[in-house]
């Protein structure tokens, strides 16, 4: 049974001076969730927002929030983002010494657990942990900034993870993030992704957010295996 297709925006390109209106507009546009790109200026060469900013808009919308923790030593911040209203916490495999324990911490807090893999990180890292993972995120850019080009050579890695997920019963989401837009979403979906994160492509659509969401969704649905 294929996992439902989800279009999840990154708010990185949003107007932070109007963040409340921006998340409301995303919900109105029909997104399936909102991804918060949390960056610490150490793991990635950029700095974004913390749990208090996420919490400030939580009550304005009902769509699920996910925190993409691009931060060193995520164990110290997981509970803050769960408290801020994130239902899914994604840690980078490259940032924690004891990934199995970190995933258990996330689940013990009542959240869903996600593992993100940088382009240079082999998919093998998640294979022994699939029973602890609710979503695998295969990055198709090097994390830190929106508006980068999609790394198509990640598609075999997406397909490899999709195979393992199917063999494990199919109960895990497969997310792709980075350079997702009208020209690239089909490749990611065809490789097996069911959750597609887009930032720049949504905000660049001249016909607006709702059109961008609908267009990306239909392109991805048409390409799914």
In the complex, the residues that contact ligand DX5 under the rule CB under 6 A are 10, 12, 37, 68, 70, 141, 143-148, 177-180, 197-201
Residue (105 or 197) nearer to ligand DX5, CB: 197
Q: Which is nearer to ligand DX5, 110 or 206 (CB)?
A: 206
3-state secondary structure the chain: CCCCCEEEEECCCCCHHHHHHHHHHHHHCCCCCEEEEEEECCCCCCECCCHHHHHHHHCCCCCCEEEEEECCCHHHCHHHHHHCCEEEEEEEHHHCCCHHHHHHHHHHCCCEEEEEECCCCCHHHHHHHHHHCCEEEEECCCCCCCCCCCCHHHHHHHHHHHHHHHHCCCCCEEEEECCCCCCCHHHHHHHCCCEEEECHHHHHCCCCHHHHHHHHHHHHHHHCC
| 149: CB partners within 8 A, 6+ apart | 141, 179
Smallest distance from ligand DX5 to CB 170, Å? 25
Nearest CB to ligand DX5, comparing residues 30 and 182: 182
Q: Which residues are catalytic?
A: 37, 177
Largest CA distance in the chain: 45
Q: In whole angstroms, how close is the CB of 9 to ligand DX5 at the nearest point?
A: 8
* Closest separation in Å from C-beta 10 to ligand DX5: 3
Nearer to ligand DX5, 10 or 194 (CB): 10
Query: Shortest approach of ligand DX5 to residue 139 CB, angstroms?
Result: 7
110 versus 120: smaller Cβ distance to ligand DX5? 120
Report, in Å, the least distance between residue 1 CB and ligand DX5.
28
Determine contact, residues 85/106, Cβ cutoff 8 Å.
no
């Amino acid at each position: 049974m294929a996992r439902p297709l989800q279009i999840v925006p990154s708010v990185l390109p949003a107007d932070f001076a109007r963040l409340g209106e921006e998340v409301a507009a995303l919900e109105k546009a029909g997104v399936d969730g909102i991804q918060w790109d949390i960056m610490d200026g150490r793991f990635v060469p950029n700095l974004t927002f913390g749990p208090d900013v996420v919490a400030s808009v939580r009550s304005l919308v009902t769509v699920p929030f996910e925190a993409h923790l691009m931060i060193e030593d995520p164990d110290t911040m997981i509970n803050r983002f769960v408290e801020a209203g994130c239902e899914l916490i994604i840690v980078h495999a490259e940032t924690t010494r004891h990934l199995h324990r970190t995933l258990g911490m996330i689940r013990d807090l009542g959240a869903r657990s996600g593992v993100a893999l940088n382009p240079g990180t082999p998919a093998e890292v998640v294979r022994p942990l699939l029973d602890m993972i609710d979503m695998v995120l295969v990055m198709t850019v090097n994390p830190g900034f929106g508006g980068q080009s999609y790394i198509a050579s990640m598609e075999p890695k997406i397909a490899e993870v999709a195979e393992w997920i199917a063999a494990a019963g199919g109960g895990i989401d497969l997310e792709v993030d980075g350079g997702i837009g009208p020209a690239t979403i089909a490749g990611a979906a065809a490789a097996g992704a069911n959750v597609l994160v887009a930032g720049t492509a949504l905000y660049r659509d001249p016909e607006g957010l709702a059109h961008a969401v609908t267009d990306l969704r239909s392109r991805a649905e048409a390409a799914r295996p």
